[in-house]
Every structure is written in structure tokens, then in C-alpha cells.
Amino acid sequence: MERKMMVGAVVLTLLAAMTACGSKQDAGSGNGTSAGAAACVQAAKTATDAARAVPQLATPPQLDVKGLAGKELWLIQPAQVKIQHDIGDGFVAAAKAAGATGKVFYSDGTSKSATEGMAQAVAQHPAGIVVNVHLELVTQQIADARKAGISVITLFQVPPGEKLPDGIQASVPSDFRSRGADMANWILADSGCSAKAAVLHLPAFPAANRHEDAIHQVFGTCPDCKVTEAPIDLAQLGTSVPSATQAVLRANPDVKYLVTLFDSLATLSAPAVASLRPDVKIVSGDGVEANLKMVREGTEAVDVVLPPPAWVGYAVVDQLARVIVGAKPWDVSVPRRLVDKTNIGNAKTVTDLFPGYENTPAVFGKAWGVS
């Protein structure tokens, strides 16, 4: 679903900028030339303009879902982020549309909860399981599922084009590295490649780590930029995010951008930003309605949004169904769009920003032959 040619062009632009501007490091060496700085700004602006564009509507190939009738499908994923609940609702609705029953287990962010959820799912012997928790936590349960003849795919956990781990038969990926690069490039473009930023860091969350790696890489192209990390606890977001936000802003008075990676974190950090440093610009991603409102009102500077959660839920059921019935997996990747004051307009929902995605049930229903 990612526009691969555009992403490839952006990556090439970034690589060229890295050669021109400097090496990968958190703070620039301070000896960059004016030509290098200009190349840094131009590369960031080019990448940001591409990220603002409207993604194309991806439609799944035809699939006969009659083989799913009466079967049970499970989704295992975190509970802390609102968009995950919206995706879960879409998953349940999509399973029903395909003639199956969808069940969602929400992990509390701990390894114990993730393994318990997977073990519970395997014990129920469903037709298929979607894993949206750190795969290394549930390696044994994935192996148990496959031994029992249960189909297993993953959501978000494996980057596009990367080899699938043992036991995983297909994936619905999202390019979190590119999403992190989108955030970093926006900051460089906005600051004229003189940014001082802080990132709320989730050390135990692989998708967040890919975001952060890309942010560091892009910041490494900037001769006069710095990025600082503030660790937070996925299992204790309600307390760790506000306290980490306060601590990093107090310790780093030169920070002008706060990257929160996910919208739930932006919402939790916003009061501390407003109280301590209202000049700091919040950079986040997901596309939750409350955060789009923040972008419209200026309390959040930019959001790199995912498509409507219902689409993700349907795409996951579609991919799992293909594995279950023995069809070729769909070459799909969850798209994204960078939204800021230049292109948010009056958009109140993600659907407003992704034309065509409002018809998700009909689009998939037609591909499945059930509408």
C-alpha cells in the first residue's frame, strides 16, 4: 500500500543529503559548510512535501472467503494505544463480514500478558492468529500454534520486505522507519536544519525503536542538530509520559521539538508542554481524532497518520484469510500521510485525509464476493 516508488525516491534523497551534510550522530559536528546546510534543508523539504501527498487507495485482490465460514480468528495486540482498540473493532467487523468470528486479546504491555494472550489463543485452536506484540516474546506460542495447524501472521511487527521470522506465514507491515524519517525531516525543514529535539523513547517496543533509529539517521544529516531521548514505560504510560516530558524539557532548555511517536503519548505529554514550554512543537503519529483537532488548533504541530483503523482491521483479516485458504498473500503495506497546518484544512477524521478509504467494508466485500 506504500507508494514504493515515492518512498524509494525519498530514501535516495536522504542518502544524498547524508553524503552532503554529515555523518550519523545525535549532534552535528559544527563544521558543516553553508552548502551542506542548504543541501540538508532542501532534502528535508523534498521529503516532507512527498510525505504530505494523498496516498493512493489500495484494493485487495479477489479472494473467495467461503472457507472462513464458522471459523474463529484471533488478534493479539497492546491495549495502551487508542488506535489499537479501533483496529480491533475493525478486525471484529471484518471477520464477521467474511463469515468468521473475530476475537481480540489486549496485552497490558508486559511480556507476561503477551505470552498469556498467545497461549490463550492457541488453546482455543482458532483457524488463525494475528500477532501484534513483540514477536520475540511469543516465539514458543507461535511454534505451538503452527504445530497445531493454526495459521499465524503478524501486524506491524515486521518491516516491509524483511524476511519473515519462523512460524510467521504473512504480514501486514507498516514502514515505521520511513514514518520516523517523515517526522525527522519535517523537523529539519521547519527548523532550517538547526533543530534541537527530544524523543519519548520506548525501549521495549520494536516499532518505536525503528522510528527512533530513523530519526537519529536523519538528524545525522544535519550539521547543527541534536536529538535527546527520554525513556518511558509502555506499561505505565499515564504516569511515565508526563514525568518524562517534564524532566526532558527542564533538563534541555534548548529543545524546541518533542517527538512522541504515537498519538496517545502526544495527548499525555501536551499538558506538560503547555505548562512548561508552550513554544515546543509536538510531533506525533497515528491520526486519532483528538490529535487531528490538536493539529488544527496548533497544540500539535504535525501528525504522521495511518489510514482509517477499519481499513487496517479489514486488511489484517484479508491477509489471514489468504493464508488460511491457501491463497497467495497480498503484497500490502499500511500507508501513511504527514499532516500539518499546510494540508489539514477542516479534516476532522483520518477518513477525510484518505479519500476512498471511507468505503472500506464495500471495497473488501466486493473483493471477497460477499457484497
pLDDT (tens digit per residue) in 83-136: 899 999 999 999 999 999 999 999 987 889 999 999 999 999 999 999 999 899
Q: Please, which residues have CB within 8 angstroms of residue 194's CB and are 6 or more apart in sequence?
A: 222, 224, 225
Grid coordinates representing 94 are 471484518
Rounded to whole angstroms, how far apart are CA atoms 282 and 339?
A: 13
> What distance lies between CA 65 and its chain's CA centroid?
28
Cell 488453546 identifies what position? Answer: 123
Q: If DSSP codes are grouped into helix, strand and coil, which group holds residue 334?
A: strand
* DSSP 8-class letter at 21: H
Query: In sequence order, what E strands does the chain have?
Result: 72-78, 101-107, 128-131, 151-155, 170-172, 196-201, 226-231, 257-259, 281-286, 302-305, 337-339
Grid coordinates representing 370 are 460477499
Q: Please, which residues have CB within 8 angstroms of residue 37's CB and are 6 or more apart in sequence?
A: 21, 193, 223, 224
Convert the pLDDT of each residue in 219-238 to its tens digit.
998 988 999 999 998 778 88
The pLDDT of residue 185 is above 60:
yes
- Cα separation values, 145 from 119, 128, 151, 231, 295, Å: 9, 9, 7, 34, 43
Strand order in the sheet with 72-78: 101-107, 72-78, 128-131, 151-155, 170-172
Percent of the chain with pLDDT over 90: 78
Q: Are 237 and 229 in contact (CB under 8 A)?
A: no
Convert the pLDDT of each residue in 133-174 to its tens digit.
989 999 999 999 999 999 999 999 999 999 999 999 999 999
Encoded amino acid at 93, one letter: A
* DSSP 8-class letter at 174: B
Angle at 101 between CA 68 and CA 369, to 5 degrees: 40
Which DSSP string corresponds to 272-293? HHHHH-TTSEEEEEE--HHHHH
- Cα separation values, 362 from 67, 94, 309, 371, Å: 20, 11, 15, 7
Confidence of residue 37 (pLDDT cuts 50, 70, 90): confident
Q: Are 255 and 228 in contact (CB under 8 A)?
A: yes
The pLDDT of residue 1 is above 60:
no
Q: If DSSP codes are grouped into helix, strand and coil, which group holds residue 304?
A: strand
Confidence of residue 205 (pLDDT cuts 50, 70, 90): confident
The pLDDT of residue 31 is above 80:
no
The pLDDT of residue 12 is above 70:
no
| Whole-prediction pTM | 0.86
Q: Which of 91, 109, 108 is nearest to 100 (CA)?
A: 91
Per-chain mean pLDDT for the chain:
89
